[in-house]
Amino acid sequence: MTKITSILVSVAALSLAACQSSSPEQKEDAVAATSDPLILAAREQFEPLPDGPAKIAGVKSTPEIIALGTALYFDPRLSASHSQSCAGCHNMGLGGADARPTSLGHRWQHGSRNAPTVLNAAYNMAQFWDGRAKDLAEQAGGPITNPVEMAMAADQVVPTLKSIPGYAGMFTSAFPGDQDPIRMENVQAAIAAYEATLVTPNAPFDRFLKGDGKALNETQRRGLQAFMDNGCSACHNGVNMGGSMYAKFGAVSAPSADLLPPDDLGRFAITKDDADSYSFKVPTLRNIALTAPYFHTGKVWSLDEAVTVMAKSQLGEALAPQDVSDIVAFLQALTGDQPKTVIPALPPVDGSSKQPLD
Amino acid sequence: MTKITSILVSVAALSLAACQSSSPEQKEDAVAATSDPLILAAREQFEPLPDGPAKIAGVKSTPEIIALGTALYFDPRLSASHSQSCAGCHNMGLGGADARPTSLGHRWQHGSRNAPTVLNAAYNMAQFWDGRAKDLAEQAGGPITNPVEMAMAADQVVPTLKSIPGYAGMFTSAFPGDQDPIRMENVQAAIAAYEATLVTPNAPFDRFLKGDGKALNETQRRGLQAFMDNGCSACHNGVNMGGSMYAKFGAVSAPSADLLPPDDLGRFAITKDDADSYSFKVPTLRNIALTAPYFHTGKVWSLDEAVTVMAKSQLGEALAPQDVSDIVAFLQALTGDQPKTVIPALPPVDGSSKQPLD
């Protein structure tokens, strides 16, 4: 337990930082008095997901911006082929991710890393596995023009949207002071505003943290205890059960090369700092039971195996089968209420609209 | 007008057939008394779309069947790559179709014909451009295993669904008397039951038919008159403004080869009857302003051009520009209330579930 204790000190600091980033109103009703020692221990490291859209510093959100962002998120005409939208790989029906090791992009190209969930992504400190986008708005610009993903030419996004008559009114409503509102910056801001609504409160573990000790069953309670005792919560903590730090995959013991291919150096590619080799953003564990396959390679399909691999590679521990199954039961208590998005009616093209390639 | 009159006789018969196929309850409140001669004339050939799901003879529909069908419709794991669902090419955000000349299937293969809208498809006499499926349930089995579309191996659909734990309960709830409910027949029946809910009532033209003469503006009223006078309604009539007969593309004058490629013989491929060469099911015109590009090749992007081509090829007429723009204005009055589908939360895979190919 000693090595864990020292880790937990830094966890507390990280949790505090996470608390400060959410608004006071969002947290007010979170905590009911309890004498349940497991709830009290858990509250030291985790916090319930607030209801309602995440509030992001500097991101303006109005019903008109969210409506525009929803349309853009679902609009395949943001891709070169007009067949791929954000929603294809970040599917609300599949826990905000897709059902493949890596996604299929333009001309059936395979992505290089597993699609992370969009759900609760607003609570991550940065976006992408390597954190190369500082926030959702910056992230939203990436896949649209990535030649392996939606493959839109950078200079065609705005002309394409301008060529679809109905978008002019939607952008003007969303950004009323803007003389030329159909701009990439506004595209990204609107998508981010919609994505900030994609939160999944009310998981059993949220109800537990708020004071309902029976929201976890006995197996899940043992799993939570094992999750904390073994040090999983050293990285997966705070409001998003992850997303608040980077960690080297294989910190204690390198996993096999199919899980950690030598040519993907993770965050090193961004920072060029040797200390960041094979380092990735710790993913959220919220809704993890919905988002197989796992890890940045998407090569592991079962939570049992994922937990076993993590314990060995990150903590140097060979968990007992009972601990693994208890922890998996706990992870299943992290599935919250899924967003109820009505598919938006998109503005139609006319004869002068830009047409798809390929 | 003489040649039109004879066409209209057969139209009346077709309209009557369409009336008889919908139930009495659905039609009861459709008609309010009016002295507007244009409404009275229109009622001879068209009828308003009923509110509520289409009722299909022999198709059972319960909330549980519709919930299952909705999940299946949106589930990309019905495709070999686990990345393509029915909803990809029949997108509720794009008028129930997609935004391309022809859709992209497995490994980026191009489909051979433009994806028809799923909206109001229950009111078509048959499905696919060539009518090769007699109803929605039969149609639903096609794309899933078509190697150019979703490309699932025929013997893998059911095992894949059985390998996703949450589907067992959903199929049992939907088909409670069935000892082995996860069967292809039930998959197709459930998708059809969901698709029967995808109707778009309350278009301006529906309100007009029900007695509100002001639901069409003056341009649209002229367009409706031109639509009837020129004989467009000889084929596009009844409750679905089409979908009730086959017609040879180029009945009077063959269009250019890019619109009518010589290697696609249409319904002839099904019937082997020379009279059916280049014959296709007359598509619905409902929501036509949402579903560019047009024709079975998807080569025409503007309604003006589509109307001009149709008048020439089917009626041998060179319409005046004013008639074309009036008719297009009328066609825009065929856009109804779009379905409000909440993306369903799909049952997740586990470690023993079937995995995607490619």
Q: What is the tens place of the pLDDT at every residue in B43-63?
A: 999 999 999 999 988 789 999
**With 90 as the cut, is the pLDDT of residue B18 above it?**
no
Say yes or no to pLDDT of B296 above 60: yes
Query: What domain range includes position B15?
Result: 3-34+53-195
Task: Compute the nearest-CA separation of A351 from chain B (Å).
Answer: 4
Residue A339 lies in a domain: no
The predicted structure's pLDDT at residue B31: 78
Asked if B301 lies within 8 A of A92 by C-beta distance, the reply is no
Judge if B181 and B223 occupy the same domain: no
Burial, B202: exposed, middle or buried (Cβ in 10 Å; 0-12, 13-18, 19+)?
Answer: middle
pLDDT tens digit sequence for A301-321? 999 999 999 999 999 999 999
**Beta-carbon separation of A99 and B88 below 8 A:** no
Total CB pairs under 8 A between chain A and B? 132
Nearest to A98 among B83, B292, B303 (CB): B83
Question: Is residue A294's pLDDT more than 60?
Answer: yes
pLDDT of residue B56: 85
Query: B241 with B291, same domain?
Result: yes
pLDDT at A117 over 50: yes
Q: What is the pLDDT of residue B22?
A: 44
What percent of chain A shows pLDDT beyond 70?
92
* Distance between CA atoms of residues A256 and A252, nearest Å: 13
Contacting residues of A for B71, CB less than 8 Å apart:
93
Instruction: State the average pLDDT for chain B.
Output: 92
A115/A93 Cα distance (integer angstroms): 14
Residue B45 forms part of a structural domain: no
* Surface-to-core class of residue A353, CB atoms within 10 Å of its CB (0-12 exposed, 13-18 middle, 19+ buried): buried
CB contact under 8 A, B100 and A338: no
Give the nearest partner residue to B108 out of A98, A107, A342, using CB atoms. A107
CB contact under 8 A, B301 and A349: yes
Nearest to A311 by CA among A234, A200, A209, A222: A234
User: Sorting pLDDT into bands at 50, 70 and 90, what band is B29?
Assistant: low
Q: Which one is predicted more confidently, B11 or B217?
A: B217
Active site residue B149: yes
According to DSSP, residue A289 is labeled G
Q: Do B83 and A91 touch (CB under 8 A)?
A: no
Q: What is the pLDDT, as a whole number, of residue A19?
A: 39
- Token pair, residue A113, equals 């890393």
Report whether pLDDT(A224) > 60.
yes
What pLDDT is recorded for position A15?
40
Given a cut of 60, is residue A332 above it in pLDDT?
yes
B234 & B251 share domain: yes
Question: Considering A28, A64, A149, A185, which one is annotated as catalytic?
Answer: A149
Clarify whether residues B73 and B125 are in a common domain.
yes
Average pLDDT over residues B324-347: 98
- What average pLDDT does the segment B93-112 reach? 98
Judge whether A150 lies within some domain: yes
CB-nearest to B346 from A76, A77, A93 is A93
Q: Which of B195, B221, B237 is the last residue of a domain?
A: B195
Q: Tell me which of A17-21, A291-295, B53-57 is least confident.
A: A17-21
pLDDT, residue A118, reads 98
Q: Do B165 and B218 fall within a single domain? A: no
pLDDT at B6: 42
d(CA A187, CA A73): 10
B208 and B42 Cβ atoms separated by less than 8 Å: yes
Confidence at residue A59, expressed as pLDDT on a 0 to 100 scale: 82
Q: Write the pLDDT tens digit of every residue in B153-205.
A: 999 999 999 999 999 999 999 999 999 999 999 999 999 999 999 999 999 99
Question: Do residues B157 and B263 both lie within one domain?
Answer: no
B164 assigned to some structural domain: yes
pLDDT at position A30, please? 62
In a domain, B216, yes or no: yes
Residues B105 and B185 in one domain: yes
Around B27, how many Cα atoms within 13 Å sit in the side-chain half-sphere? 13
Supply the pLDDT for residue A29: 54
CATH number of the domain within which A150 lies: 1.10.760.10
Residues of chain A with Cβ-Cβ distance to B301 below 8 Å are 349-351, 353, 355
Q: Which chain B residue lies closest to A342 (C-alpha atoms)?
A: B342
**Does A322 lie in the same domain as A283?**
yes
Label residue A14 by pLDDT band (50, 70, 90): very low
Nearest CB to B290: which of A93, A348, A355? Answer: A348
Q: CA B174 to CA B271: how far, in whole Å?
A: 36
Could you tell me if residue B350 is inside a domain? no
B244 and B323 inside one domain: yes
The answer to whether residue B25 is domain-embedded is: yes
A26/A67 same-domain check: yes
**Burial of B184 by CB count in 10 Å (0-12 exposed, 13-18 middle, 19+ buried)?**
middle
The reported pLDDT for the residue numbered B132 is 97
Tell me the percentage of chain B whose pLDDT exceeds 90.
89
Q: What is the mean pLDDT of chain A?
A: 92
Cβ neighbours around B63 below 10 Å, total: 10
CB contact under 8 A, A302 and B352: yes
- Set of chain A residues whose Cβ sits within 8 Å of the Cβ of B291: 348
**Residue B87 within a domain:** yes
Are A247 and A288 contained in the same domain?
yes
Residue B188 C-alpha, separation from nearest chain A C-alpha, in angstroms: 20
A128 and A245 fall within a common domain: no
Residue A350: closest C-alpha in chain B: B302
Tell me what pLDDT residue B26 has.
Answer: 46
Cβ proximity of A127 and A147 under 8 Å: no
Interface with chain A: mutation pick from B68, B81, B100, highest number of A CBs within 10 Å: B100
Query: What residues pair up with A91 in beta bridges, in sequence order?
Result: A97
Q: Into how many domains does chain B fold?
A: 2
Complex ipTM, two decimals? 0.91
Q: What percent of chain B has pLDDT over 70?
A: 92
Query: What pLDDT score does A18 carry?
Result: 40
> How high is the pLDDT of residue B30?
62
Residue B102 — very low, low, confident or very high, per pLDDT cuts 50/70/90? very high
For A188-201, the pLDDT digits (tens) are 999 999 999 999 99
The 10s digit of each residue's pLDDT in B197-254 is: 999 999 999 999 999 999 999 999 999 999 999 999 999 999 999 999 999 999 999 9
User: Contact A108/B103, CB-based, under 8 Å?
Assistant: no
- Domain edge (last residue) among B195, B219, B252: B195
Nearest CB to A345; choose among B93, B108, B302 = B93
Residue A250 has pLDDT above 70, yes or no: yes
pLDDT digits (tens, 9 = 90+) for B117-147: 999 999 999 999 999 999 999 999 999 999 9
Residue B98: closest C-alpha in chain A: A83
Mean pLDDT of A113-134: 97
Confidence of residue A25 (pLDDT cuts 50, 70, 90): very low
